[in-house]
Amino acid sequence: MMMDTHHSNKQTKGAITKHKIIVEARDLFYRQGFAATSTAQIAKKVGVSEAALYKHFKGKMALLLATVEPERPHDQEVSYFSTLSNLDLLGAWTEQLISTVFHNRPQYTIIFSESPRHPELSENYIRHLHQLTNADKELLTRMDKGQLPKLDLVLFQVGIIGSFLAMLTHKRIYEPTLNLQDIPEDIRHTLISIVEGKLFQQ
């Protein structure tokens, strides 16, 4: 009845089904939005009955929460970041951030678009955004030492992610054929330039 949520390896039949449900629900929430997606549609896509779906999740809301767990970025060693110049550190920080967001687009898109309506989601959101990577820590250290100007890193991060997701959406709308396997070069360039402060520098 409780399923083996404490296992990360999906071995039992039930766990496999549960995982499938999460994957398909995430895809639908991402593409159609939470409210516009019905549990019937999810069940159909997974190939199970709605009743089965409700054995794995208490409700649609519990399912939403399960779909937004982002994977951690491939974090580098602290020592690596500490060797970088300010500019290179900022570049590496940005690269890591947008790479993480890009490879977890569905999760981030769902969180950013549904958070205002679902406070439960915000908790998840801050839990991840506030979890500092080594690049974050190195940035904060240098801000403390006065080597970099101080700013609200979380707010800035939110801004960068919001900007990134908006540009990706824009491109998808006007180039529907676009295959988004890699981060489009113009978007990457714009973001890196923004962070490194050379957007309108001559």
The DSSP code for 59 is: S
Q: Which stretch binds a copy of itself (CB under 8 A): 9-17, 21-29, 72-80, 161-169?
A: 161-169
The backbone region for 184, taken as left when phi is positive above 0, alpha when psi lies in -120 to 50, beta otherwise, is: beta
Q: Which residues lie closer than 8 Å to 37 by C-beta, 6 or more apart? A: 25, 28, 29
Nearer to a copy of itself, 19 or 150 (CB): 150
Phi and psi, residue 179, nearest 5°: -95, 105
Q: Which does 78 bind (CB under 5 to 8 A by kind): a copy of itself, DNA, none?
A: none
Our finding on whether 66 is near DNA (CB under 7 A) is no
> Cα(174)–Cα(47) distance, rounded to whole angstroms?
33
Cβ–Cβ < 8 Å for 191, 163: yes
Using the minimum distance from each CB to DNA, give the nearer residue, 65 or 148. 65
The span from the CA of 20 to the CA of 101, in Å, is 22
- What CA–CA distance (Å, rounded) separates 191 from 156? 12
Contact flag: residue 118 with DNA (CB under 7 A):
no
Contacted by 186, from DNA, a copy of itself, none: CB < 5 to 8 Å by type: a copy of itself
The nearer residue to DNA, 64 or 135, going by C-beta atoms, is 64
Residues 46-65 touching DNA, rule: CB under 7 A, are 47-52, 54-56, 58-61
Is 198 among the residues that bind a copy of itself (CB under 8 A)? yes
Binding site for a copy of itself (CB under 8 A): 31-33, 35-36, 86, 90, 112-113, 115-117, 119, 122, 126, 148-149, 151-152, 154-156, 158-167, 169-174, 186-187, 190-191, 194-202
